[in-house]
Amino acid sequence: MSNPTEPTSQNAPQTQQNYPTPLSPPLPAISKDIELTRAMSASSKSSLYKLSRSDVLYEDEWLVAVNKPQGVYCESVLASVPCLLAGDSAESKSGRLSEGTKLNLLELHLANRLDRDTSGVMVITKSHKVASKLVKAFTDHKVSKTYIALCIGPAPKWKRITIISGHGRSKFGAWRVYAASDVGRVLPGGSVVRDMVTSFEVLSVNGEGSFKEPSELQEDEENNIVVEKKAVLDADAKKNEILVRVFPRSGRTHQIRLHCQYLGISIRGDVKYEGVYEWNGKRYDGHELHAESLSLEHPITGCPVMVQAPLPLWATQAPQSSSK
């Protein structure tokens, strides 16, 4: 008989593992109901969504790039591509598709994904072969992307900056920013902290500035922030409208939104990451983030391809808006 004073496997004390500590806050309580309302609205909108020829930004026999609207799930965009492509064929006008056409349409794949409320460039491949090549290009960081975001917060003291941190989430948790030195460490649930790198360029503050075409930032123009502790932010600082161009160097979920939050300039409408959803008397139904451009080497021809989506109204108006 075991000694009752000795711990058994059932009552032995558990060793507390030293997990990394997230450096960004948990989701605001207010975000739950707002996000649920937005999700329901997006589901309704997505069920009725159909691509038109005016949404197509680029197409050849291997790829098609489209301009995804805000508030539509990317799966719904993909689901509407067959009708768009078949609509160009003579056989579709008769209401019948050949077996060969049906088979080809089944090979459509999303090359990149955008959040529900993010608009802009989405690339769809037309065959499994092209899909695998493009997935590898994204994985190897051979695809360059730029985004435009309208943020609210203190006017940045920097013109250009690069932020380097960790990225991860615990089991059943939210995506959070972690210290750069935590990359590779295990989180509760078994996932691992991964590297996350984003460059930013300020285009305008309260309408003062000018919009320019996207171009790659030069290394010597950048200031680097290596994240190792929680950001120190002034809650009482004046709030400004800040238009930024963003260059994600890695491909982490909610990367831009998380780094904007860490910098104290959360994206307008992004309630999940502390963005205001009411501003100057107006309520926003989604965050203002736009996938502006995507540049890659064509997976079949090897030629350079650059796809650019028209800017939404909030982005074109920002540099001309009056100071608040």
Annotated active-site residue 115? The verdict is: yes
Three-class SS of residue 196?
strand
Long-range pairs, 40-46, Cβ under 8 A, ≥24: 41/71, 41/285, 42/71, 42/72, 42/73, 42/116, 42/117, 43/73, 45/71, 45/72, 46/72, 46/73, 46/75, 46/76
List beta partners, residue 205. Answer: 208, 242
Residue of 115, 117, 182, 270 marked active site: 115
Closest CA to 240 of 324, 317, 319, 149: 324
Provide the residue type at 126 as one letter. Answer: K
Please give the helix or strand (H or E) that residue 73 lies within, else none.
Answer: none
Tell me the two tokens of residue 124. 């769809």
Please give the helix or strand (H or E) that residue 46 lies within, else none.
Answer: helix 31-47
Tell me the two tokens of residue 306. 């650059």
Catalytic residue IDs: 115
